């Protein structure tokens, strides 16, 4: 059975009440997030009850500071797909608005978690905070659990062996530094960008390197430059990944100022305009640069393609469909 998605309490069925729920924003769904959700699934399976996740849209940081530079690692479409892959029965998307931001921690638990969703157990990260002015924490959850009769599990801090802590902040920093491979070690997969393929200036086609142009909205900006990528188009319930090279940036050779992701897929000639393209950044090749004319740009693209093909071949990605591009492939 596929995961069910809910946005309001009136459509939430009684059959899913009494379950275990994981709470969090889960931006990026890194390995620490996966441990929290995995613990909820484990407890639910052990007790024979539904397993769910509650996340918040928009991200609270966007609500309180809407003019911040883009920082999201996983806009909702990707986040929901990643959560579903973890074996949940349902995802409840709680609207984050002024009314929610002013609820006390006690009110959030009593009216939303208990009356609305009827949860029997709550799983959070060790540093989870909630409620008005972020005054609610794990200690408050545990106290409310004792008062109202629901269980609480807090998953402790997790990190790579001898390395970086699993956190969305660390993932963002690595991507901004042009280190997608290191970011992938925290995510458990390569970070991907998804967007609808739009018509561009068609310059790539005229020089022999047609590109799929993905308008860049909502996402964190990684380091500008050229990347080896795996790109996939959803085909029914499956995604087939293909090798390619991509440029993220402003295209200074053509004096552009907007930000665009341009993807050239190797040995691929299908029309994919208006389709959603998923692009996983695997290796940073070089920073974006301005070239002295099309011939110089074309010569560099030839080198970039050769480098990307070598890097992707060295990683040994398997052929065939996959839900995402795993680092252990």
pLDDT in tens, the chain (329 residues): 689 999 999 899 999 999 999 999 999 999 999 999 999 999 999 999 999 999 999 999 999 998 888 899 998 988 998 999 999 999 999 999 999 999 999 999 999 999 999 999 999 999 999 999 999 999 999 999 999 999 999 999 988 887 889 999 999 999 999 999 999 999 999 999 998 888 765 555 555 678 898 877 788 999 999 999 999 987 777 888 999 999 998 765 555 667 889 999 999 888 888 888 999 999 999 999 887 778 888 899 999 999 999 999 999 999 888 889 998 74
pLDDT at 18: 97
CA distances 34 to 29, 44, 50, 192, Å, are 6, 15, 17, 17
Give the 3-state secondary structure of residue 218: coil
Give the whole-angstrom CA distance, residue 262 versus residue 274: 14
| DSSP line for 148-199 | HT-EEEEEPP-BSTTS-B--HHHHHHHHHTT-HHHHHHHHTS--EEEEEEE-
| DSSP line for 228-240 | EEEEEEEETTEEE
pLDDT at 198: 84
Q: How many CB atoms lie within 10 A of CB 276?
A: 14
pLDDT at 251: 64
Sheet strands (E) in the chain: 4-6, 20-23, 51-57, 90-95, 121-125, 151-155, 192-198, 212-215, 225-235, 238-249, 260-265, 276-287
Give the whole-angstrom CA distance, residue 178 versus residue 226: 10
Name the percent of the chain lying above pLDDT 70: 94
Structural domains of the chain, ranges and CATH numbers in brackets: 4-155 (3.40.50.620), 190-315 (2.40.30.30)
Phi, psi of 47 (to 5 degrees): -105, 0
Give the whole-angstrom CA distance, residue 153 versus residue 128: 11
pLDDT at 92: 98
pLDDT at 40: 98
pLDDT at 291: 78
CA distances 126 to 61, 111, 121, 198, 263, Å, are 20, 23, 15, 42, 39
Q: Read off the pTM.
A: 0.92
Q: Contact at 8 Å (CB) between 127 and 162?
A: no
pLDDT at 329: 45
């Amino acid at each position: 059975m596929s995961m069910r998605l809910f946005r309001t309490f009136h459509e939430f069925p009684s059959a899913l009440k009494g379950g275990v729920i994981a709470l969090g924003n889960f931006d990026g769904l890194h390995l620490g997030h996966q441990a929290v959700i995995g613990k909820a699934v484990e407890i639910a399976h052990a007790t024979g009850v539904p397993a769910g996740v509650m996340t918040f849209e928009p991200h609270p940081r966007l609500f309180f500071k809407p003019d911040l530079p883009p920082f999201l690692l996983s806009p909702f479409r990707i986040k929901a797909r990643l959560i579903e892959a973890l074996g949940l029965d349902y995802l409840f998307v709680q609207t984050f608005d002024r009314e929610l931001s002013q609820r006390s921690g006690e009110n959030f638990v009593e009216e939303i978690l208990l009356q609305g969703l009827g949860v029997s157990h709550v799983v959070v990260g060790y540093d989870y905070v909630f409620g008005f002015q972020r005054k609610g924490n794990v200690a408050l959850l545990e106290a409310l659990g004792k008062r109202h009769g629901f269980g609480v599990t807090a998953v402790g801090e997790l990190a790579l062996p001898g390395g970086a802590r699993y956190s969305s902040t660390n993932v963002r920093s690595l991507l901004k530094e042009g280190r997608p491979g290191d970011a992938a070690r925290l995510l458990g997969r390569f970070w991907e960008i998804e967007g609808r393929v739009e018509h561009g200036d068609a310059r790539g086609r005229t020089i022999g390197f047609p590109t799929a142009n993905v308008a860049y909205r909502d996402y964190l900006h990684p380091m500008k430059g050229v990347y080896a990528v795996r790109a996939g188009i959803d085909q029914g319930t499956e995604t087939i990944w293909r090798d390619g090279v991509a440029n993220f940036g402003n295209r200074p050779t053509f004096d552009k100022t907007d930000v665009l992701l341009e993807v050239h897929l190797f040995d691929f000639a299908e029309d994919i305009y208006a389709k959603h393209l998923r692009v996983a950044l695997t290796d940073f090749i070089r920073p974006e640069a301005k070239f002295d004319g099309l011939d110089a740009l074309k010569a560099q693209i030839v080198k970039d393609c050769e480098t990307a093909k070598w890097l992707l071949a060295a990683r040994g990605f398997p052929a065939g469909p996959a839900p995402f591009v795993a680092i252990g492939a």
